[in-house]
Amino acid sequence: MVLWDPAHYLRFSDERSRPFYDLLARVEAEDPDHVVDLGCGPGQLTRSLATKWPGAAISGIDSSVAMVEAAPADDSAEVRFEVGDIRHWQPADPVDVLISNAALQWVPGHRELLPQLIASVAPGGWFAFQVPGNFDEPSHRLLRDLASDPRFAAATAGVEWPSAHDAATYLGDLSALGCRVDAWETTYLHVLTGPDPVFTWISGTGARPVLQALSAPQREMFEVEYKALLRTAYPAQAFGTLLPFRRIFVVAHKGSP
């Protein structure tokens, strides 16, 4: 199981938050009673849902105990956090809005879960999610190549590799389930600063399972080589280090009976 670090994850909170708000802007629910954020992470974005829908009960659910424990406490808001697995989550009653931001890519075969997730949404409700679409970019290709090196391959053989599909695939899946679907892709051009910023970014997310699988001496060797590869693939420029990051957005409106 991957051990997530909320503080590390939040080091680029502005860049990681923007897709959430871009996704939310297309959810046209007016006065939902129950809103759920699946894979809520450290919860600061979940908390913002109470501002958009002040009358709703908000639930944040994440499989990481560390992330849930890091969620901001506020007894005055109708926001609750709990540990739960997306694969097995089922609400007691259908929810009005179901959000999942940068989480489904960690669920193997998550397309097979879409019927179950849509069934958890009330008629007339909304299901919206965002997943990274950058797994063919140098940051991930170099990671996979280095992890398969004979020096590291035995240790990394069983790691979790995130994956996602294109917007058209998800649009087809959810349209077949009777939803009206808005799907699109965006490539953000993040300008990162600091030493080895691309490594700092990916070591908090996509590279984390690989790094945790290595022994301490292996990890030290791996990080030195991976950082050097990333510096070549993403050279520092006068304004910072440019990290293009493609993301997939899907908003499905479930039909009324």
What confidence score (pLDDT) does residue 7 get?
53
Block mean pLDDT (10 aa), the chain, length 257: 52 85 96 96 90 94 86 72 93 97 95 98 98 97 98 95 97 98 97 95 91 96 98 97 98 89
pLDDT tens for 20-40 read 999 999 999 999 999 999 999
- Grouping H, G, I as helix, E, B as strand and the rest as coil, residue 108 is coil
Closest CA to 67 of 54, 81, 49: 81
What confidence score (pLDDT) does residue 206 get?
86
What confidence score (pLDDT) does residue 66 get?
82
Which DSSP letter does residue 69 get? H
CB 36 within 8 A of CB 15: no
**Predicted structure pTM score:** 0.93
What confidence score (pLDDT) does residue 65 get?
87
What confidence score (pLDDT) does residue 193 get?
93
DSSP string, 1-14: -----HHHHGGGHH
What confidence score (pLDDT) does residue 76 get?
54
d(CA 127, CA 113): 13
Residue 254 CB partners (closer than 8 Å, separation 6+): 118, 121, 122, 123, 124, 125, 126, 127, 178, 179
Calculate the alpha carbon distances from 38 to 17, 42, 44, 67, 220 in Å. Answer: 15, 12, 13, 12, 34
CB atoms within 10 A of CB 31: 9
pLDDT tens for 60-83 read 999 888 888 877 766 556 899 999
Domain ranges (residues) in the chain:
6-254
What confidence score (pLDDT) does residue 14 get?
84
What confidence score (pLDDT) does residue 170 get?
98
d(CA 161, CA 135): 9
What long-range pairs does 170-178 form, CB within 8 A, spacing at least 24? Answer: 170/111, 170/114, 170/248, 170/250, 171/250, 173/111, 173/114, 174/114, 174/118, 174/127, 174/250, 174/252, 177/114, 177/115, 177/118, 177/252, 178/118, 178/254, 178/255
Angle at 140 between CA 223 and CA 225, to 5 degrees: 20
Strand stretches in the chain, DSSP E = 34-38, 57-62, 79-83, 95-101, 121-132, 179-192, 236-237, 240-254
What is the CATH class of 6-254? alpha beta
